[in-house]
Amino acid sequence: MGQDKGNIDYHGKPQREYLADLMSGFCEETFISVRNEASVFDTQYPLIADSFHDLGPYGGILSAFRKDPNSAWLTIATDIPLLDKKTLDYLIRHRNPSKLATCFHNPETGFPEPLITLWEPRAYPVLLQFLANGYSCPRKVLINSDIEELKIDRTEVLSNVNTQDELASILPKVNA
């Protein structure tokens, strides 16, 4: 994309701060995942630096579990500008701790959506096993595991921004 997606201002503040603030209403503690400890930006939230390098979001999820393997982890990608309190509340109210994870079904892809997922503690060894088998895709773990997959009415909430064109097309929706 050519820029740090966490710095994009959709809601009057950097996106990483908006999402951390949003999550803080649902979580005992809220962290921001970063690629390395040298990441520099102002935040009131503690950081979790990737201890599993060059794995993208998968590395962030594993690094969170390495920090605390006994907690459930609500993980949200920073490039989802339409995520709102109502959607997070729905996910958390429908959490199924007996499953590996709770996530939304993305009707556009036909697959579980890994960008907004509540991972249960028992997911950690499963994630590690997938990595040992050469897989570093959270969606692949979800597809091949016993998960709680929720329907979502507003599929645009799942939209993520990876290109300048996607950014330009989503900005009017953010302000709607």
Return the CA Rg of the chain.
15
CA distance 102 to 92: 8
Question: What's the mean per-residue pLDDT of the chain?
Answer: 94
CB neighbours (10 Å) of residue 57?
20
CA distance 24 to 146: 27
pLDDT tens digits for 111-127? 999 999 999 999 999 99
Q: Which residue has the tokens 């036909």?
A: 110
Q: Report the phi/psi class of residue 161: left, alpha or beta, with left for phi > 0 and alpha for psi in -120 to 50.
A: beta
pLDDT tens digits for 76-101? 999 999 999 999 999 999 999 999 99
Is 40 a residue whose pLDDT tops 70?
A: no
| Full set of structural domains in the chain with CATH | 5-174 (3.90.550.10)
CA distance 87 to 85: 5
Q: Which residue has the tokens 């300048």?
A: 164
Question: Model's pTM, two decimal places?
Answer: 0.94
**Residues sharing a CB contact under 8 Å with residue 36, sequence separation 6 or more, in sequence order:** 49, 50
